[in-house]
Chain A
Amino acid sequence: MSAVAVALLITLLAGLATGLGGLIAVSGRRGGPAFLAIALAFSAGAMLYVSFAEIMPKAIDALGSGSGGSHGLAMASAGFFAGIVAVALLDRLLVRLQDRGRARAVRDGGSARHRLLRMGILIGLVGHCTTSPRASRRSWC
């Protein structure tokens, strides 16, 4: 099998693993608030850790390679905050779309139920760029 085929097969497997996670999440009865709280916080912890321990070092390394390593941190930091600004705007857009759909005022970022839906959508949109360690330097999604 060619390298590209192997890479595709691996990403396909990874995709199916995501579906398996979904299956686990809904198997049995509704997990209830405690399960949900743990699942959400677990994801947050995993994402925070991988962001700072794995993804940022890779970015710093890649951006520094052109300049002998001296500008990597500064440029990676710029990219980091650019990402935050972009997703904050996307988040606002989703809030606005939900508001319009429900035609009612949503205080404080929406009701808990709306927040859950919006979160699912957000994670779905960006989640796949997030599991970096398996990604080679040439594929991030």
Chain B
Amino acid sequence: MAIAVAIAIHNIPEGIAIAAPIHEATGSRLRAIGASLLAGLAEPIGALAGYAVLGPVLGDAVFGFVFAGVAGVMVFISIHELLPAAREHGRPLLATNGAVAGMFVMAASLVLLQA
């Protein structure tokens, strides 16, 4: 149950992050939901494919580099795309508060998951 809650906390904001900009840019609800659902369903498929391809070579080294790379990717996207776009569409304070709220919710979900 705790895992289900943690997953929801992690993935729902992600769905919003995918759908909100696409909805705003295209005006199409269907496309926005479709994109988030597609990204969501890519997950189990990606898990299978990743396991099939990387399974044999999946040592700590590969795992560590992939994780570190993913961290870099996310930091880049946050700084280069998400935060500038947030400031373009709302008052700077709104963007800052939103970012802090995101950190807080993520921190809370990590703590909950650890318990």
How many residues does chain B have at the interface if contact means C-beta atoms less than 8 Å apart? 90
Q: Is A62 a contact of B64 with CB atoms below 8 Å?
A: yes
**Given contacts A41-B96, A59-B65, are A140 and B50 in contact (CB under 8 A)?**
yes
- Residues 38-70 of B, flagged 1 when their CB comes within 8 A of A and 0 if not, give 111111101110110000001011011111111
| Chain A residues whose C-beta falls within 8 Å of the C-beta of B7 in the assembled complex | 10, 13-14, 17, 131, 134
Q: Is A127 a contact of B25 with CB atoms below 8 Å?
A: no
Q: How far is the CA of A115 from the CA of B82 in the complex (A)?
A: 9
Instruction: Give A contacts to B, CB under 8 Å.
Output: 7-8, 10-26, 30-31, 33-56, 58-63, 65-66, 72, 75-84, 86-88, 91, 112-120, 122-124, 126-134, 137-141
**Given contacts A26-B23, A133-B10, are A122 and B68 in contact (CB under 8 A)?**
no
Q: How far is the CA of A35 from the CA of B95 in the complex (A)?
A: 10
- Looking at the complex, which one of B69, B81, B83, B97 makes contact with A83 (CB distance below 8 Å)? B69
Q: Is B20 a contact of A16 with CB atoms below 8 Å?
A: no
